[in-house]
Amino acid sequence: MAVHTPAHSALGGLLSYASLQPLAPGTLVRVPLGTREVLGVVWEAPASEPGVPPAQLRAIAGVLAGLPPLNAHWRALVAFAARYYQRSLGEVALAALPAQLRTLGPEQMARRLRRPAAAGTDTDATPLIALSTEQESARAEIDSKNGPFLLFGSTGSGKTEVYLRCVQDLLLAAPAAQALVMVPEINLTPQLEERFVARFGAGQVVSLHSGMTNPQRLKSWLAAHSGQARIVLGTRMAVFASMPGLGLIVVDEEHDASYKQQEGARYSARDLAVWRARACGAKVILGSATPSLESWHASRPPSEGDPEGGRYQRLEMPSRIGAAALPRVRRVDMGQQPRRAVFSAPLLAAITERVQRGEQCMVLLNRRGYAPVLHCQDCDWKSDCPHCSAHQVFHKIDRSLRCHHCGYAQRVPRACPACGSPDIAPMGRGTEQLEEHLAGLLEGVSRQGGGPVRIARIDADSTRAAGALQSQLAQVHAGEVDVLVGTQMIAKGHDFRRVSLVAAVQPDGALFSSDFRAPERLFALLMQAAGRAGRDAAWMAERGTPCEMWVQSHHPKHPVYEALRRHDYAAFAAQQLTEREQAGMPPFAFQALVRADARTQEVAQGFLAAAANAAREAALPGVEHISLYPPIPLAVQRVAGVERAQMLVESASRPALQHFLAAWQPLLHALRADPAHKGLVRWLVDVDPLAI
């Protein structure tokens, strides 16, 4: 039986229970665990494990009758995820099920299943648009070959239409087939759902993401599990959806870091999608204009020095639909601008001209709030968070200081808390200040048709209220916004038809980061942002001017910006992969992080050092192929009063790393119980980490 046992408990494996009737593997049951009654999944007993006498077993409390068992493919996916990401099987299995399902008893579930399913209102199918030559070629390749496929298409090349046609081909070919389509963030699901519902009807499409209520998620899960819903749209959690007829998985924007879970079992939904498709005989399409370097390397074509090439098949769609041109990239050297300038004179003039012609502009700054920190000019006091080794961000709109790590908030002081000076001022800029500053610069400008320029801001603060994001996006699409200011939330996936200019005002911070993935993330963000401009070829042709992407930088000749100027992802990827191969970094090496959280930094690092010594002394399998680096604090080493440290584990062999981590688990559990590490709060293993 797989049940969700407490983290780091000695009950990490399968548990045995007595049942008066034989139960098929995958059956959902209620079982006692300590003083509680919890949901369990019947699992196959390991062949090597001796049976327990029935008299010593506790009996199951009830069976959730009426639900078909979770099939063997689903159980294999959960077992693989638990094994690969070093978590207990019960934790992964139960976390993959809807929260409300974990609380319903047999009688409640029976009543729930007796309710008639809401009839889907199938709409008239939208007329199919003609595919471009590149789209038709990609569709034909996906139809005739097994994949996995990397659909490398520029922004605006029509990747979504290829997904729609491939799903349509699947559903027509097999009456019970199902398709799973994943997007990286919740805010991208409404527009995708709208397109799928318009094509296939509401009765066949359900969504699965954390923004839904528990009853909504259970309803969608049951529809997918029963086969009633043939298309499931969702975020990373949807990779575990029970879909007995699964025949196709689409992972849109496959490069996005949001596919990596950052709590509990730290799985990559993209990687699990590839594994799941292969295990159940489905096809998988990974789509992106800026693929992850791992996927790009895995799709490399055969060459003289590498006759086999990668295991993915690369499909390219470099052209935009309707002969729309990619934006011209213009770089501004901020070293040649006035010292405190936020917007260079050429960029401000370009924004003014576009607004006066009735076009929309988009300004990207990946930092929310008004300013990153408040600062005292007299004593150098800064608005540090009392619970974290980070600053509290100044939010002018509600006069608050807020920590974006632990959530601690307080009112802005009238004077410096340290010296009493009233001379405290914001340092740096966030989207809130950028919006205010831009409004001042455009105060005397009239938009087309008369009236002041309308500026809107979209970030995690402005979209906190329910429905706020959808309302703001609707205003942009309706042309009620002239300039949109925002964080990375506005850079991905949105089909803004009237945006003709995109500007990145302070992108340099990622160029010299200690994280080796920072240039890859910056290039992807800027390419995605650039892709919001000029998406409607006919509308841009009427305007008579090309769309533009402006980058303000103190290092305009940096290779990242040079590749961006040419829209040359292939050259950027080649340069990055060469550097990574020389440095022995992924995808040419495999990594895991062991992290320890404790009351003091000494305890956290002491636990990690002891774990490394124990591994060497025990001569664990694969240790000779493993590099264990010294423990160090995290970049933000204290969050909510807890100190955090990490240790990098690296190997050139994925199997060697996996064998080592599996053998290391018992030692880590034993060390946690050692009184020498009193004060340790928790430890965890992060396989294939995205940030170090």
pLDDT band at 551 (very low <50, low <70, confident <90, very high): very high
Choose between 372 and 685: higher pLDDT: 685
Q: Is 547 labelled as part of a ligand binding site?
A: no
Q: Is the peptide bond before 417 cis (omega within 30 degrees of 0)?
A: no
Of 603, 598, 607, 611, the C-alpha closest to 638 is 598
Q: 127 in a domain, yes or no?
A: no
Q: Is 379 labelled as part of a ligand binding site?
A: yes
Question: What average pLDDT does this structure show over 193-217?
Answer: 91
Q: 409 in a domain, yes or no?
A: yes
- Do both 187 and 223 map to the same domain? yes
CATH of the domain at 682: 3.30.70
CATH of the domain at 272: 3.40.50.300
- Do both 291 and 166 map to the same domain? yes
Q: How many CB atoms neighbour CB 341 within 10 A?
A: 14
pLDDT at 50 over 80: no
Q: 122 in a domain, yes or no?
A: no
The 10s digit of each residue's pLDDT in 207-220 is 999 888 999 999 99
Q: Is 385 labelled as part of a ligand binding site?
A: yes
Of 1, 51, 57, the C-alpha closest to 26 is 1
Final residue of a structural domain among 317, 335, 352: 317
Q: How many CB atoms neighbour CB 187 within 10 A?
A: 20
pLDDT at 692 over 90: no
Element containing residue 294 per DSSP (H, E): helix 293-298
pLDDT at 175 over 50: yes
- Do both 179 and 300 map to the same domain? yes
Q: Is 406 labelled as part of a ligand binding site?
A: yes
551 backbone dihedrals φ, ψ, rounded to 5°: -125, 115
Final residue of a structural domain among 82, 114, 146: 114
The 10s digit of each residue's pLDDT in 579-621 is 999 999 999 999 999 999 999 999 999 999 999 999 999 999 8
Cα 252 to Cα 288: distance, rounded to the nearest angstrom = 6
Choose between 19 and 113: higher pLDDT: 19
pLDDT at 244: 95
pLDDT at 123: 44
pLDDT band at 51 (very low <50, low <70, confident <90, very high): low
From the number of C-beta atoms within 10 Å of its C-beta (0-12, 13-18, 19+), residue 635 rates as middle
- Do both 205 and 310 map to the same domain? yes
pLDDT band at 42 (very low <50, low <70, confident <90, very high): very high
DSSP 3-state assignment of 429? coil
Q: 414 in a domain, yes or no?
A: yes
Boundaries of domain holding 551: 324-368+430-582
The 10s digit of each residue's pLDDT in 143-167 is 999 989 999 999 888 999 999 999 9
The 10s digit of each residue's pLDDT in 352-384 is 999 999 999 999 998 878 888 899 989 999 999
Q: Report the mean per-residue pLDDT for the chain.
A: 90
pLDDT at 7: 56
pLDDT at 211: 85
Cα 503 to Cα 529: distance, rounded to the nearest angstrom = 8
DSSP 3-state assignment of 679? coil
Percent of the chain with pLDDT over 70: 96
Q: Is 166 labelled as part of a ligand binding site?
A: no
- Do both 578 and 475 map to the same domain? yes
pLDDT at 112: 80
Q: 119 in a domain, yes or no?
A: no
Q: 617 in a domain, yes or no?
A: yes
pLDDT at 6 over 70: no
- Do both 295 and 362 map to the same domain? no
Question: What average pLDDT does this structure show over 337-355?
Answer: 93
Cα 262 to Cα 690: distance, rounded to the nearest angstrom = 10
pLDDT band at 52 (very low <50, low <70, confident <90, very high): low
pLDDT at 176: 93
The 10s digit of each residue's pLDDT in 237-288 is 999 999 999 999 999 999 999 999 998 899 999 999 999 999 999 999 999 9
pLDDT at 117 over 80: no
Q: Is the peptide bond before 46 cis (omega within 30 degrees of 0)?
A: no
> Residue 32: CB partners within 8 Å, gap ≥ 6?
38, 58, 61
- Do both 200 and 252 map to the same domain? yes
DSSP 3-state assignment of 101? coil
pLDDT at 125: 56
Choose between 198 and 116: higher pLDDT: 198
The 10s digit of each residue's pLDDT in 557-581 is 999 999 999 999 999 999 999 999 9
pLDDT band at 55 (very low <50, low <70, confident <90, very high): confident
CATH of the domain at 15: 3.40.1440.60
Beta carbons of 381 and 418 less than 8 angstroms apart: yes
Q: Is 361 labelled as part of a ligand binding site?
A: no
Q: What's the whole-model pTM score?
A: 0.91
- Do both 234 and 265 map to the same domain? yes
- Do both 161 and 245 map to the same domain? yes
Final residue of a structural domain among 66, 81, 114: 114
- Do both 577 and 650 map to the same domain? no
pLDDT at 9: 56
Percent of the chain with pLDDT over 90: 64
Choose between 122 and 441: higher pLDDT: 441
Q: 125 in a domain, yes or no?
A: no
pLDDT at 301 over 50: yes
pLDDT at 538 over 70: yes
Beta carbons of 184 and 258 less than 8 angstroms apart: yes
Count structural domains, the chain. 5
In Å, how far from its chain's centre is CA 444?
41
- Do both 391 and 446 map to the same domain? no
Q: 488 in a domain, yes or no?
A: yes
Question: Contacts by 270-275 with C-beta closer than 8 Å and gap 24+?
Answer: 270/295, 271/688, 272/77, 272/80, 272/81, 272/239, 272/240, 273/180, 273/182, 273/239, 273/249, 274/148, 275/77, 275/80
pLDDT at 126: 63
Q: Which amino acid is at 241?
A: A
Cα 11 to Cα 9: distance, rounded to the nearest angstrom = 5
- 51-55, 106-110, 141-145, 316-320: segment of lowest average pLDDT: 51-55
pLDDT at 489: 85
- Do both 556 and 638 map to the same domain? no
Q: Is 388 labelled as part of a ligand binding site?
A: yes
pLDDT at 47: 63
